[in-house]
Amino acid sequence: MNKDILSKYVTENANIPWGTRNAERVLSALLVADNFWDIVSFSCEPLPAVAEALKLLADRGLIEFTDQGVLLTQKGRMFIEEEGVFPLHFHTCPRCDGKTVVIDEFREAFDEFLRIQIDRPEAIREFDQGYVTPETTFARIALADSRGDLRGKEVVVLGDDDLVGVALGLTGLVKSVVVLELDERLVAFEQRIATELGLSLQVIRHDLRKPLTKELLSKFDVFFCDPPETIEAFDAFVGRGIIALKGEGCAGYFGITHVESSYYKWRLLEMKLLQRGLVITDIIHDFNVYMNWEYVDEMLAWDLAPIKQPPIRNWYKSSMVRVEMVEKLEIPNEDLTNRDIYNDPESSTT
Ligand SMILES: [Fe+2]
């Protein structure tokens, strides 16, 4: 057994391209965590790949699945040491939790948001929902404000189970916000809040697999979205965000995980951005922190998990990406209705 055998096994069985560096990351995580969901989170590797890796390690007697979680055996510790792999060490800033921004200036709007979001519709599987913590929603606003992307700007939010539209309305920083959302429950919820509080927030029911209507094309300064992470979903969400932008200097914000996307997929997604006239200006690791799902045991991830232990903390995180348009290109506004936007070999939380 060595890192090479482990990475080849994962490549074959999970159908995700893996090398020894990927294997190393899982071994490093095993030295500091015993909860399956933490191991996935700390390793920064796709969940189906981590699951396959752990199965092989268990088969070879290097780890054991116990009531306490995933435990390294004596043999396992020796193996990791012989492979020259070290435990992970975190040096995350405790003030901002690694987000690079704090939300102190928005305290009043944030407190109001906390009260409002208690009645939010619960995340449902049908639309691959899973919303971020309220702190994360406001950190997005603090970040965008820090880049000069909010004051006096026209903003579009493509899919909004994170309630970014409501948060933007509450802070009153932007000129206008339009939310495009498929889930009727969310549309009704955000509309009601907007009316009750007199927020400058327009909510439109729209399936992002369908082309954007003319009034929305080349209309906005900034977009926010948090897409499912297949290539098709990237086209539907980020792709539509891009064609909604007016032109050069306009910006977009979205999340991308390690849980559902290998660096091979990251590369494909990054190439799509460059091809569409955008440049990546910021990537902030683990910026977006998601609430644990109510439906965790209904997800593919639960079936894939080689040990059925519940998560002990918010383990699902994503990097925050900011892109800026340097060249406005002609991009087709195609119909993607017949594409499966939710599933590929690396996805597991739908
Ligand atoms: Fe900090």
Interval 113-141: pLDDT, tens: 999 999 998 877 777 678 999 999 999 99
Would you state the structure tokens that stand for residue 251, as one six-digit string?
A: 């910006």
Q: What is the Cα Rg of the chain in Å?
A: 21
Task: Kindly tell me the sign of the dihedral angle through the C-alpha atoms of 214, 215, 219, 220.
Answer: negative
| % the chain with pLDDT above 70 | 99
* Residue 145 CA to ligand 1 centre (angstroms): 17
* Residue 2 CA to ligand 1 centre (angstroms): 38
d(CA 256, CA 234): 10
**339 has pLDDT over 80:** no
Residue 237 binned pLDDT confidence (cut-offs 50, 70, 90) = confident
- Does the domain made of 3-82 have the CATH classification 1.10.10.10? yes
Which amino acid is residue 167, in one-letter code? Answer: A
Q: 104-325 in CATH: which number?
A: 3.40.50.150
Interval 7-40: pLDDT, tens: 999 999 999 999 999 999 999 999 999 999 999 9
Backbone angles phi, psi at 20, to 5 degrees: -70, -30
Give the side-chain half-sphere CA count within 13 A for 275. 11
Q: Is 338 exposed, middle or buried (0-12, 13-18, 19+ CB in 10 A)?
A: exposed
Give the side-chain half-sphere CA count within 13 A for 50. 31
pLDDT of residue 188: 96
Residue 235 binned pLDDT confidence (cut-offs 50, 70, 90) = confident
Q: What is the mean pLDDT of residues 157-180?
A: 96
* Residue 155 CA to ligand 1 centre (angstroms): 27
Contacts of 228 (CB under 8 A, 6+ apart): 128, 237, 260, 341, 342, 347, 350
* Residue 102 CA to ligand 1 centre (angstroms): 8
* Residue 284 CA to ligand 1 centre (angstroms): 12
* Residue 90 CA to ligand 1 centre (angstroms): 13
Whole-number average pLDDT of the chain: 94
The domain locations on the chain are 3-82, 104-325
Which amino acid is residue 112, in one-letter code? Answer: E
pLDDT of residue 182: 93
pLDDT of residue 346: 82
User: Three-state DSSP class for 313?
Assistant: coil
**300 has pLDDT over 90:** no
pLDDT of residue 127: 72
Q: CA angle at residue 167 from 166 to 173, to 5 degrees?
A: 110
The answer to whether the beta carbons of residues 219 and 244 sit under 8 Å apart is: yes
Residue 2 binned pLDDT confidence (cut-offs 50, 70, 90) = very high
* Residue 255 CA to ligand 1 centre (angstroms): 19
Q: 297 vs 244, which has greater pLDDT? A: 244
pLDDT of residue 236: 81
pLDDT of residue 165: 97
* Residue 291 CA to ligand 1 centre (angstroms): 22
Interval 26-76: pLDDT, tens: 999 999 999 999 999 999 999 999 999 999 999 999 999 999 999 999 999
User: Three-state DSSP class for 215?
Assistant: helix
* Residue 75 CA to ligand 1 centre (angstroms): 39
Per mean pLDDT, which range of 17-21, 112-116, 247-251, 344-348 is the poorest?
344-348
Pairing of strands 154-158, 176-181: parallel
* Residue 94 CA to ligand 1 centre (angstroms): 6
- Provide the β-strand partners of residue 245: 220
pLDDT of residue 122: 84
Residue that is written with structure tokens 């020894």 in the block: 20
